[in-house]
Amino acid sequence: MPSSKSAKESLKNTGIVGGSQFIGMGKDLAEAFPEARETFQEVDDALSQSLSSMMFDGDENELNLTENTQPALMAVSMAAVNILKKQGNIVLNVKTLYSTINSKSPMRYQYN
Domain locations along the chain: 7-104
- List pLDDT tens digits, range 12-59: 555 444 457 889 999 999 999 999 999 999 999 999 999 999 999 999
Q: Is the pLDDT of residue 86 over 70?
A: yes
Which CATH superfamily does the domain covering 7-104 fall into? Malonyl-Coenzyme A Acyl Carrier Protein, domain 2 (3.40.366.10)
Higher pLDDT, 109 or 97: 97
Q: How confident is the model at residue 85 (pLDDT cuts 50, 70, 90)?
A: confident
- Report pLDDT for 99: 58
pLDDT at 87: 79
- CA dist 35 → 1, 32, 38, 96, 98 (Å): 10, 9, 5, 22, 20
Q: How many CB atoms lie within 10 A of CB 5?
A: 15
pTM over 0.85: no
